[in-house]
Amino acid sequence: MQSLYEIKKAGPRVVGRHVYGNLKGCRNVEALRDPSVLEDLLRKAGEEGNMTILDVKSWKIGEGVSAVAIVLESHITIHTWPEYRFATVDVYSCGAHTDPRRAFDYIVRALDPEEVTVGSVDRSLE
């Protein structure tokens, strides 16, 4: 008989995926300036990525905005510089049921940048 401590589950014990990027030449400049628009954008991106939104906050900093969505599975952040038509986006989620790339892509479509640089990291625990 096998002990419960000897039974290993297939796949990683913790599934963590991190998608981040720079959005250059954003055509939706007004969104980059508006905290309420960005808060709504983060909520919708979280829903798109099948994440559970717990809270969303934003702060006006100069011409830009920093906003964060705390999701049950981790976080989504955006920092904007409308004077340069530039934004940075960070989506990190834990759980195989989430799709951080889908959330990231939703934000990209809304801000309509001329150029996107994207990176991703697997932050799972095997």
Instruction: Kindly list the catalytic residues.
Output: 74, 79, 94
Paired tokens of 36: 């309420």
Pairwise CA distance, residues 58 & 113, whole Å: 21
Calculate the CA dihedral of residues 62, 68, 23, 60 and round it to 10 degrees: -10
Three-class SS state of 96: coil
Spatial separation of the C-alpha atoms in residues 28 and 33, rounded to whole Å: 10
Q: For residues 101-119, b (16+ Cβ closer than 10 Å) or e, as one string?
A: eebbbbbbebbebeebeee
